[in-house]
Amino acid sequence: MAQQVRGVIAPGKNEPVRVETVVVPDPAPGEAVVQVQACGVCHTDLHYKQGGINDDFPFLLGHEAAGVVESVGPGPSDLEPGDFVILNWRAVCGQCRACKRGRPWYCFDTHNASQQMTLADSGRALSPALGIGAFAEKTLVAAGQCTKVDPSVSPAVAGLLGCGVMAGIGAAINTGAVGRGDSVAVIGCGGVGDAAVAGARLAGAARIIAVDIDARKLRTAESMGATHTVDSTKTDPVEAIRELTGGFGADVVIEAVGRPETYEQAFYARDLAGTVVLVGVPTPEMRLELPLLDVFGRGGSLKSSWYGDCLPDRDFPMLIDLHQQGRLDLEKFVTERIALDEVEESFARMEAGDVLRSVVVF
Ligand code: APR
Ligand code: ZN
Ligand code: ZN
C-alpha cells in the first residue's frame, strides 16, 4: 500500500522550500523503496530551487543519501529488505552504445523509478532531484540506483559518496587518472574540490596545490591533503602553480568551480601534455574563449568528469573500505548534522561558504 512520509519540496522558482506530505507508491518491478537515514545538502538542490536545472516544479529535493531498503518490487533483484545502500543518480542501462563498448560510467541511458511520487494534498506529481528525492523519510528509486555497502559506516558519511564527494574523488582518480608522483592542482575547494584533493592524495600525488578565493577553504583543503595553498585573490594562481612545479605547471589540474575564468586558469596552469578536468558545473550562458593555437600547442587532454566518471558498484564499496581502514577520512566532509525542516536555512550557510556539507539525519 502507498505510504505517506514527510519530504522537502521546492514548490516554485526561488520560493522557500518546505516540508510536505509525500505519497510513496509501493515498488513496481525493478524499483525499491528506501528508508532514508541521511541525505547531504548539495549545490544542485539549491540550483533546482532556483529554477536553474529545469522548470518541472514541484521538486522533491535531496539526492546525496544513504539508507536501508524497505521493500523491493516483484521479480528477480539483487536487493533485499534490510540492505544498507548508497543511492546513485546514474543507474546504468547495460544496453546503450557506451555500456556495450565496456564504458558503462558514460552510460547514455541511465534510468530512475518509473512510478511517480506525489503530493498528498493536491495529488500533483513530484520531480525528484536527480531522480532520487531523498530529503524524505522514504523514497522510491530504481533498484539500480541502490549500491550495497558495509552497514557499519555512519549513514551521514556514506550518503556523501552519492554525489559531491564521489564527483571530486572520481575527478582525480577516474577522469584525471592521477598517478603516484604526479603534481595536481585543484581550483575551487568546496566539497567537490576538497574531495578531489583527498582523491589526489589517495592516488599518490606528490604535490597537491589547492586554490581558492576563501582562506577558510584553503585551511580545510590542507587538512584533506593539500601540500600547498594559493589564495587567488592575492596571487595569480597560474604563476603560483607554475612556480610550485619547477616552472612547468601541474600534470593534472582539476577545475571544481564551473566558471570560464577558472577554467582558463586551469588550462594555463597545467604542464605541456597535461590534463585538465572540469568537474565544476557551468551555467548555460557561460562562454569560453581560448587561442586555438594554445589548445593545439599545449597538447594533452581536456576532459569533463560526469559524476566523477564513477561506477557506483565498483567505487562506493571501495571508498567505504578505504574510509574504514582510516585512509580516507570522509567524516571531515560533514560540517553539521541537521533536521529535515532545516534545509532552507542550510542553503544560506552553503551560499555564505560556511559549510562543506550540511547533512539531514533522520
Ligand atoms: N577561484 C577559485 N575558487 C573559487 C572561485 C574562483 N574564482 N569562485 C568560487 N570559488 C570557490 C569557493 O570559494 C568555494 O570554496 O569554489 C568553491 C566552490 O565550492 P562550493 O560552493 O562548496 O561547491 P561544491 O559543492 O564544491 O561544487 C563545486 O561542482 O558540482 C559542481 O555545481 C557544483 O559547480 C559546482 C562545483
Ligand atoms: Zn547504458
Ligand atoms: Zn549533488
Distance 184 CA to ligand 1 centre (A): 17
Q: Which residues contact 42 (CB under 8 A, 6 or more apart)?
A: 63, 64, 163, 164, 191, 357
- What is the rounded distance in angstroms from the CA atom of residue 360 to the CA atom of residue 211? 29
Q: For residue 266, what pLDDT is reported?
A: 98
Distance 334 CA to ligand 3 centre (A): 14
Q: For residue 1, what pLDDT is reported?
A: 85
Residue 199 lies in a domain: yes
Residues 204 and 257 placed together within one structural domain of the fold: yes
**For residue 275, what are the domain limits?**
168-306
Residues 28 and 157 placed together within one structural domain of the fold: yes
Q: For residue 80, what pLDDT is reported?
A: 97
Q: Shortest CA distance to 19 belongs to which of 361, 341, 360?
A: 341
Q: For residue 81, what pLDDT is reported?
A: 98
- What is the rounded distance in angstroms from the CA atom of residue 139 to the CA atom of residue 228? 42
Q: pLDDT tens digit string along 161-185? A: 999 999 999 999 999 999 999 999 9
DSSP letter assigned to residue 163: T
Residue 278 lies in a domain: yes
Residue 312 lies in a domain: no
CA 258 to ligand 1: nearest atom: 34
- Does residue 284 surpass a pLDDT of 90? no
Residues 57 and 195 placed together within one structural domain of the fold: no
Alpha helices in 171-288 (DSSP H): 191-202, 215-224, 237-243, 260-269
- Does residue 283 surpass a pLDDT of 90? no
Confidence of residue 301 (pLDDT cuts 50, 70, 90): very high
Residues 182 and 250 placed together within one structural domain of the fold: yes
- What is the rounded distance in angstroms from the CA atom of residue 27 to the CA atom of residue 34? 10
- Does residue 98 surpass a pLDDT of 90? yes
Residues 172 and 152 placed together within one structural domain of the fold: no
Q: For residue 8, what pLDDT is reported?
A: 98
Q: For residue 158, what pLDDT is reported?
A: 97
Percent of the chain, pLDDT > 90? Answer: 99
Residue 217 lies in a domain: yes
Distance 307 CA to ligand 2 centre (A): 15
Residue 26 lies in a domain: yes
Starting from the CA of residue 167, give the closest ligand. Answer: 1
CATH of the domain at 85: 3.90.180.10
- What is the rounded distance in angstroms from the CA atom of residue 208 to the CA atom of residue 193? 12
Question: Of all protein residues, whose CA lies closest to atom 7 belonging to ligand 1?
Answer: 262
The CA dihedral of 87, 92, 94, 99, to the nearest 10 degrees, is -140
Residues 146 and 34 placed together within one structural domain of the fold: yes
User: What is the pLDDT of the chain when averaged over all its residues?
Assistant: 97
CATH of the domain at 220: 3.40.50.720
DSSP letter assigned to residue 116: -
Q: Which residues contact 58 (CB under 8 A, 6 or more apart)?
A: 9, 10, 11, 12, 119, 124, 126, 127
Residues 237 and 333 placed together within one structural domain of the fold: no
Distance 104 CA to ligand 2 centre (A): 6
Q: Which three cell numbers stand for residue 36?
A: 532514508
Confidence of residue 295 (pLDDT cuts 50, 70, 90): very high
For 282, phi then psi, to 5°, come to -75, 170
Q: For residue 150, what pLDDT is reported?
A: 96
CA 163 to ligand 1: nearest atom: 30
Residue 173 lies in a domain: yes
- Does residue 97 surpass a pLDDT of 90? yes
Residues 257 and 144 placed together within one structural domain of the fold: no
Distance 7 CA to ligand 1 centre (A): 27
- How many domains, the chain? 2
CA 351 to ligand 1: nearest atom: 21
Average pLDDT over residues 189-213: 97
Helix (H, G, I), strand (E, B) or coil at 75: coil
Residues 15 and 61 placed together within one structural domain of the fold: yes
pTM: 0.96
Average pLDDT over residues 305-320: 96
Starting from the CA of residue 192, give the closest ligand. Answer: 1
DSSP letter assigned to residue 16: P
Question: Of all protein residues, whose CA lies closest to atom 2 belonging to ligand 1?
Answer: 212
Confidence of residue 151 (pLDDT cuts 50, 70, 90): very high
Question: Which residues does ligand 1 sit against, CB inside 6 Å?
Answer: 43-44, 164, 167, 187-193, 211-214, 217, 232, 256-259, 262, 279-281, 353
- What is the rounded distance in angstroms from the CA atom of residue 6 to the CA atom of residue 340? 9
Confidence of residue 357 (pLDDT cuts 50, 70, 90): very high
Residues 155 and 214 placed together within one structural domain of the fold: no
Residue 311 lies in a domain: no
- What is the rounded distance in angstroms from the CA atom of residue 351 to the CA atom of residue 358? 12
Q: For residue 222, what pLDDT is reported?
A: 98
Q: Shortest CA distance to 24 belongs to which of 148, 117, 160?
A: 117
Q: pLDDT tens digit string along 26-36? A: 999 999 999 99
Residue 315 lies in a domain: no
Question: Of all protein residues, whose CA lies closest to atom 18 belonging to ligand 1?
Answer: 190
Q: For residue 159, what pLDDT is reported?
A: 97
User: To which residue does cell 558519511 refer?
Assistant: 157
Residues 187 and 116 placed together within one structural domain of the fold: no
Helix (H, G, I), strand (E, B) or coil at 33: strand
Residues 23 and 143 placed together within one structural domain of the fold: yes
Confidence of residue 261 (pLDDT cuts 50, 70, 90): very high
